[in-house]
Amino acid sequence: MRRRGLMILMAAGLAGAAAAQSGEAGSVPPAVETTAGPVGSYADADALLSALETADAGLESLRADIRYDRTFDLEGDNQVRVGQMWFDAGVRSGKTAGPRRFAVRFDTLIVGRTQRSETRVHVFDGRWYADKVPGERRMSRREVVAPGETFDPLKVGEGPLPIPIGQKKADILKRYDATLLPATDSVEDKTLAEFVAGSVQLKLTPRPELKGSDDFREIRIWYRGKSPGEMTAADKPGARLLPRMARTVNRSGDVSIVQLINVEINEQAPLDESVMSAEPEAGWTVVETGLRSAPAKPEETVESGGDKVKKPEEPREPEPEGSPAQTPR
């Protein structure tokens, strides 16, 4: 699957055919992991990546408040969206119960000194990625996974949320060099430095031979909590190793920061199925692109009776990097 800008890091943003990237990386020998020295209980990046391989054990669902801050390098403009996110690990009682999926609902938009209510919903249901604008009763959705196939939206190098939990260390090191850093390394903002206090920072940079094809110049992810080996029966589920913040720099130089706040898991994180759906809603205008569809497709309006009425639509120009279909704005 082609990598996109960060959704949310969250949370969402995406398009392309699944498995393309993993195929590219398969012929490349594993990268050499690097480290700036021990941080917290981790001797190096290799130790942290090993812990993350099993950090999703017992994880069924996750909910968090989210703040998504993006600064555009060329214009210098800054936009902030605030909302909530939900992640479904697709596991119930230790058994696979469905695909991994997520939803992010932004309700507040801040541009400069102006703040206003504006709802935007990004959903990946295991097959379709949808971008919804409830206030205008419209949505666009793109099929990103073929029927019968599976895809992990958290997989670094492929998914819209590059915050690996349960991903194989070898898969990450095929595409990236990894460095373990102190929490406040390169964090100049005082508020953010306080936010990541007590965390460990993982920096990922594309291998030299892949820099021209990777969407990101670098990915930095902050984790907080106990590794699987440190957890005891007395620890609450929320004490586990979980993502705290992510910062990416794409090839255009745009910087995106995603903060996960008030993170809850499992019983404390019920999924909101009304938000998790990528299916068209009655009475909404829907633009849909299948996995093998042409870039432009006639617009479809789903009437209250469930029928679809097609309307001619002018071909659209390809969306630029950072567009809603790639990265929530």
DSSP state of 136: G
Let me know if residue 276 belongs to a domain.
Answer: yes
74 domain residue, yes or no? yes
Is 230 among the domain residues?
yes
Strands 138-143 and 216-224: unpaired
For residue 240, the 8-state DSSP code is: B
The domain that holds 178 is classified in CATH as 2.50.20.10
Strands (E), 233-307: 242-250, 255-265, 285-289, 299-302
- Neighbouring C-alpha atoms within 13 Å toward the C-beta of 132: 25
In degrees rounded to 5, what are phi and psi of residue 319?
Answer: -75, 135
Tell me the pLDDT tens digit for each residue of 148-171. 887 776 666 555 555 666 778 898
**Chain segment 193-226, per-residue pLDDT in tens:** 999 999 999 999 999 998 888 888 999 999 998 8
The half-sphere exposure of 329 on its side-chain side, counting CA atoms within 13 A, is 15
pLDDT of 154 reads 62
Q: Write the DSSP symbol of residue 176.
A: E
Name the residue among 27, 32, 69, 63 with its Cα closest to residue 49.
32
**Residue 174 DSSP code:** H
pTM recorded for the entire structure: 0.77
| pLDDT tens per residue, range 53-110 | 888 888 899 999 999 999 998 888 999 999 999 999 898 988 988 988 989 999 999 9
Q: Considering its fold, how many domains does the chain have in total?
A: 1
Cα distance between residue 11 and residue 122, in whole Å: 7
CA distance to 1, 58, 143, per residue, from 291 (Å): 11, 32, 5
Contact partners, residue 95, CB within 8 Å, separation at least 6: none
Residues 6 or more apart whose Cβ sits within 8 Å of residue 221: 162, 163, 164, 201, 202, 204, 243, 245, 246, 247
Q: Is residue 322 part of a domain?
A: no
Segments forming the whole domain that contains residue 118: 20-311
Q: Is residue 7 part of a domain?
A: no
pLDDT band at 244 (very low <50, low <70, confident <90, very high): very high
